[in-house]
Amino acid sequence: MRTLVLAMAVPAGPAAAQLYGGFVPGARHTPVNVWFGTARDAAGRYVPNATIVLRSRQIDFVAVTDAQGRFRLELPVHLRPVDVQARCSHKSYAGARIARRLPRGAALSPVELTCRLR
């Protein structure tokens, strides 16, 4: 009796190299800096579907707030908070202001952002 074994090789492509968090079976976890926060309107209500953009010199990281107005992004560990600009927007609002809360001491993570949409 013969047994046929089929093997499939899946090369690690650029998409896998740019993944900075989350669980991927068989992938080694890469250390990350966590950025999280909320988007609210002028009355303090949470705003779903707001766009959060974190811009570094190399790449922009984008998140959309969930139904509770929250978001979370994982950035590469080498990006310092001073090297990242944050902005937020929503199609129903004219502008926004972002408040940033940095971690204590020399820590680079987590960074909390509060987006106030106007």
Q: Per-block average pLDDT, block size 10, for the chain (118 residues)?
A: 43 40 55 95 97 95 97 94 96 96 92 98
Q: Is residue 43 one of the residues assigned to a domain?
A: yes
- Residues in contact with 59: Cβ distance below 8 Å, sequence separation at least 6, in sequence order: none
Q: Which pTM does this prediction carry?
A: 0.74
pLDDT at 26: 54
Q: Is residue 54 one of the residues assigned to a domain?
A: yes
pLDDT at 29: 65
Q: Is residue 21 one of the residues assigned to a domain?
A: no
Q: Across-strand partners of 32? A: 76
- Asked if 38 contacts 114 with a C-beta cutoff of 8 angstroms, the reply is yes
pLDDT at 100: 97
pLDDT at 63: 97
Domain residues for the domain of 44 are 30-117
pLDDT at 3: 43
Please give the tally of structural domains in the chain. 1
